[in-house]
Structure 1
Amino acid sequence: MRGVRVVRGVGAVRLLAAAGLLLGAAVAPAAADSPSPDASSSSSSDKDGAPTTAGTSFRTATEIEQGEKATASGSTGDYLYWSFPADLGQRPTVKATVKLPESAKRGTAQTWRVDVYDGLRRRQACQYGAQTRTIAPEASSADLTCVLRTVRGWAEPWADDPLPGTYYVRLTAVSVGSADLGLPASAEVEADSKDIGGSAAVDGSLGKPLIPGIAVTSEAEEEKDSAVLSSFDPNDGWSSGWWTDRWIWTAVGGVLAALAGIGGYALTRGGGRPRGIPPRG
């Protein structure tokens, strides 16, 4: 009987060992599929979420939000592109800083330029700001600024007024010596805007913002999955707010006009009987 008990005990141990092996085999693939805590993936943004790369064309422009400072590294002579959204009533301002290597490695001065284009890739004129800067051989950086006109709600087909939608920033060296081509350069770009308010409000509005891939699609095409070259989608929608401080000034003007009418009537209506007319009697 003791021999039978020993055999049974050995069989139980073997069954437990086999169950443990099966459980380990089932858990191992799941553990292999899940990433380890130390694994990290490469990203094109820094720890604050700001982009650290720039596109090389309109189609590959790096998207940035207003108030976000983007950085990028490249070579002298490259075209660097970014894009940002601007809505009705805003006056965008683009600021760029170019940093060059040590002056000992450069033989001539360099001229850098920042340009801004709208969603139709029409170059937008700068109201004011240093759009072009020349960096002397002994200098290492330069600041460029472009303040656009106020974004309008609509414009004539022949006009190039800034309209709501995507805006592209292009930074490049427009004058550089052949010996300096290809030297490393870094850039910082930031787009911000000032809300002009009701003074810039107009009666018309666009049916669609000037966003590549959206403004040119029809209603039938919108139902299908189509490529969109920009993913900007404000939380409140594009030009969705009908309220502006223009309504306040309109209401104040109406109240002042009503008060002026009442005051004028009180001054001109007269308080007594006209002269030359005897009282009834």
Structure 2
Amino acid sequence: MRITRVLGAALLTLGLAAGPAAADSTPSASPSEDDAAPTSAGTSFRTATEIDQGRTATASASAGDYLYWSFPADIGQRPTVRATVKLPAEHAAQTWQIDVYDGLRRRQACQYGAQTRTADAGTASVELACVLRTVRAWSEPWANDPLPGTYYLRLTAVDVPTADLGQPVAAEVRVESKDIGGAAAVDGRLAEPLVPGVAVASRQDEDDSGVSAVLSGIEPDDGWSSGWWSDRWVWTAAGAVLAALAGIGGYALTRGSGRPRHVPPNA
């Protein structure tokens, strides 16, 4: 009975510990469909159109234009950027490309995905995709690791015949993320996410200057992560509890009844 109670307590503890981790890994609810999705794109980093993850943004443009959007990415997320370009009925072969930059405007490499594709003559549309590396809480100054903050998506045609320049095209972009969790957790964190103008805004808040100078106001629905918490703390605590209970159970099994053995008197 004692061993049964010990095992029951261990399972209960593990279930309670795993509960928060399972809740954290659940994808957040998509934004309300009542919120209008952006229908235009910027033409530079400074004029990039802000979009939320999980929403499809559209834009009408001309072949040869540079289209920019920005989106937030937080610690532990692995963003996937997808773009679809609808082409005119008649056109020559065109090559389209998507590039992603972080808050410091450093180009981020794609782990996998068709970042560049060529649409043959007469093709109705071309689809592009880029899966980024997992966003880290902290990185060495010399590294090019993706860090929390604003990310920029640039869509453009890199090889368009002169006769096709200026032809109308329609673009759709969508950003979604997979929550990697504690598997990507590191020690340390940034003082502030890499959001354009956030350092200026912080100084103004300290000086009570008034107006904020943040250039990008978009952020995750539940705010930016602090960087110190991850589900690895839950599993570490659960492992420690299970190890302690296993030690108690092993001691209970090996120590015996505790009564002294009967020694027959010497004949």
The two structures have a TM-score, normalised by structure 2, of: 0.77
Distance in 2 between the 1:208 and 1:240 partners? Answer: 9
The equivalent of 1:255 in structure 2 is: 241
* Amino acid of the structure 2 residue aligned with 1:255: V
Higher relative contact order (CA 8 A, sep 6+): 2
Structure 1: runs of 5 or more not aligned = 1-45
The equivalent of 1:237 in structure 2 is: 223
- Pick the structure with greater CA Rg: 1
* Amino acid of the structure 2 residue aligned with 1:124: Q
Aligned-pair distance for 1:101? Answer: 0.2
State the aligned residue count. Answer: 231
The equivalent of 1:87 in structure 2 is: 74
Aligned-pair distance for 1:244? Answer: 3.2
Give the conservation status (yes or no) of the 8 Å contact 2:189–2:228.
Answer: no
User: 2:139 pairs with 127, 132, 155, which one?
Assistant: 155
User: Matches of residues 83-122 of structure 1 in structure 2 within 5 Å?
Assistant: 83-103=70-90, 106=91, 108-122=92-106
CA shift in 2, pair 1:89/1:182, >3 Å? same
User: 2:57 pairs with 65, 70, 93, which one?
Assistant: 70
Q: Deviations over 1:58-110 (max 9, x none)?
A: 0000001111111001111110000011111111111100111013xx2x311
Indicate yes or no: 2:38 matched with 1:51. Answer: yes
Aligned-pair distance for 1:215? Answer: 3.6
Structure 2: runs of 5 or more not aligned = 1-32
Distance in 2 between the 1:268 and 1:169 partners? Answer: 63
Distance in 2 between the 1:271 and 1:199 partners? Answer: 44
Please give the secondary structure, in 2, of the residue aligned with 1:50. Answer: coil
Please give the secondary structure, in 1, of the residue aligned with 2:198. Answer: coil
Please give the secondary structure, in 2, of the residue aligned with 1:190. Answer: strand
CA shift in 2, pair 1:158/1:272, >3 Å? same
User: 1:210 pairs with 166, 182, 194, which one?
Assistant: 194
Distance in 1 between the 2:118 and 2:265 partners? Answer: 94
Aligned-pair distance for 1:241? Answer: 7.5
Distance in 1 between the 2:34 and 2:255 partners? Answer: 75
Q: Deviations over 1:138-178 (max 9, x none)?
A: 21101111111111101010111111110000000111212
Aligned-pair distance for 1:181? Answer: 1.4
Distance in 2 between the 1:174 and 1:221 partners? Answer: 43
- RMSD of Structure 2 on Structure 1 (CA): 2.8
Q: Percent identity between the aligned chains?
A: 72
The equivalent of 1:180 in structure 2 is: 164
Give the conservation status (yes or no) of the 8 Å contact 1:209–1:215.
Answer: no
The equivalent of 1:22 in structure 2 is: none
CA shift in 2, pair 1:157/1:242, >3 Å? closer
